[in-house]
Chains A and B, each alone.
Chain A
Amino acid sequence: MSDRDRGVEPPQPSEAQLHAVVDRHAAAVYRVALSIVGDPALADDVVQETLFKAWRKAPIDDDGQIPRAWLIRVARNTAISLLRTRREDLYSPEAMPESGEGVEVPRTVEGRAQVEDLWSAFRHLDADARALLVLKEVNGLSYDEIAMTLELPLPTVKTRLFRARNQLKDALKEWR
């Protein structure tokens, strides 16, 4: 039984341990958070809150790691909760990040405009649809992992993702 299970306060993390958790999970948590709150500053808050909660009370799996499904679920719930209390307009495409983790953001006017169109279409989906798309298409989770993470039945995940993809495609018809 761990200290957490016994209700004993866990020890403060060493710098290295904290860095490892952040390094492993922060980017995925950020993407999900941003897809829901739509604002980079709020997404930052969600990442910090999620990883703080993770350190305080996350379950530890057999490999001694914090389960990714648990983290993403906490991030999603934290983001939705934050959005309810601080409802603000989703951020404008001009505020989009200039560069990502090895992803080349289009530098041409046309490419940039396409990403802005995409973001505009994306932000009009509901929060769950946005999170589903990011989990599947960007974070690369399997359907089973998404179902476990969002605590939804597998068929529901598949049909919702199907609808979300089609909504996005419909909004981007001019790309074809």
Chain B
Amino acid sequence: MQRIVRSGALQSLKRFWRDELGAELIQFILVLPIMLGVVWTAMEAWQLMTLRAAVRSTTAQAARYMTAFGASAESRAPMAPENLCANVEYLVAESLSRQSGNLGDHLAVTMRWYRFLDPTNPLWEGNAIATSCMELLLGYECNDVFAVTIKVAVPWQSVVFGIDYSATTTEMLRFSDTATGVAPCLPHCNVRVSGNVISAGIHGCRARVCWSLDSSYRPDYCGIFVDDVLVHRQDAPLLNQCFEPVTLPPGASSIEVRCYGGEREATGAITLNCQ
């Protein structure tokens, strides 16, 4: 009897090994971690690409902001350097506020500014010095080249799906991007005035007045003022131009040339004596 039972158990075991019922289920269980891994990796890749794009876009916008408003303190630009730096920081913080790691952690953002000693040299080594936003704006001049680097760090959990177990590791994910910009050249116009008396009479003198413009734009017109009275208006003036005769009253006269371009006024003056 015992022999018969033993023989029956052996047959059952043999039958179980040969039975193919459930084989597909086992195959599916074996392949499931791989499928889960593929789905998980696709989602991770999507999140990483979004994060990377956000960092790139933010860096470009920060550099653009500094290029648009980063005028020197001496200029007439109404944005104060401290406001400008605060606004750039706000822009960066706002732009990256919706990004997070795959555990929901917020990004740790660091922003670093660089000034290029020689703007014509594209090399960084020995040419770019790290600075702060406020320091960058000190002595900031037209066509100065700067760079901004934004670095983000966030805890990131990686999951490796195994057949019998899965392993997770958490590490810091770091991204950085750099964008360069140039200090804007604000419109400037310096007027140099020269002149001489051509002839003298009882009621006054005739003089020749010349101007020379060192200008980033062409003024719409220039006017010659003698003792604050307009005596000649020249539309679309040349950079170097003379006008005569300018009538002067006896004695010393203040001759001023005022040039207007847009809402900007540039002046230069000399004094001529009519004796």
A interacts with B: no
B-contacting residues of A (Cβ < 8 Å)? none
